[in-house]
Amino acid sequence: MARQPRLILPNQPHLILQRGNDNQPIFRDDEDQERFHDWLKECARLYKVAVHAWVLMPNHVILLATPADEDGLALMMQKVGRHYVPWFNSKYGRSGTLFQGRFRTSLVDAPHYLLAASRYLELAPVLAQLAPEPADYRWSSYAHHAGLRSDTLVTDHMLYWGLGNTPFQREAAYIELVRQGYGSEEGELIGGALAKGAPVGSYAFKAELEKKTKRQILPAKRGRPFKTRQPEELLD
């Protein structure tokens, strides 16, 4: 059976997950992550993808990004791979694939979950015990959002700008948002959607997507279909 195309809508934010093949490391030192970051920045600009948040973990990458068209995300990720994989293989004397199949995408209900998704991925290094605080992990967009250093890869979403009227207010509000962390329900919602390539949002958001895209997004109803009784049966 042919694989269903990824659900990608222009001008809508998406979470993107790319894992190492068999969860093997795709970054072994800072130079690897720096190269990937710089190629990602170059390719995002080339294919008109606005990257709002990102994290490079040892064996996977998570991005929060908005494409200008249906093809931008795939073209960006393919181009980055064509730069990075041969370079990585040459550096470490290896051959073959590095990434685990296709990257996954999850449409995000921006008004309700965009900032939560940004917080989720920037807290990933802390939860993985790679750093005590998000500010201590170099390879994410947290330092940019917290005002610790500028990152030209990042295009701030209007919802981030809505956190305050000045850079200081926005940064302080975002620091507090991340400091609060997230509960198990939110973590399971975002993490589960990422793992399946499913939308991140409410039932109403998914129902509207299903209507708009003509694709099954909500879980299928269980049980046997309801049998409609014929008029003569009602008289029995």
| pLDDT given at position 212 | 80
* CATH of residue 204: 3.30.70.1290
- Per-residue pLDDT at 236 exceeds 50: no
**pLDDT exceeds 50 at position 214:** yes
194 occurs within a structural domain:
yes
List pLDDT tens digits, range 30-79: 999 999 999 999 999 999 999 999 999 999 999 999 999 999 999 999 99
Distance CA 224, CA 118 (A): 41
Q: What are phi and psi of 164, to 5 degrees?
A: 180, 165
CA distance 185 to 55: 22
Residue 86 has pLDDT above 80, yes or no: yes
Residue of 116, 108, 141, 113 lying closest to 11 (CA atoms)? 108
Mean pLDDT of the chain: 90
As for how many domains the chain has, the answer is 1
Give a yes or no: residue 218 inside a domain: no
pLDDT at 129: 97
Assigned domain for 236 exists: no
Q: Domain range for residue 202?
A: 14-213
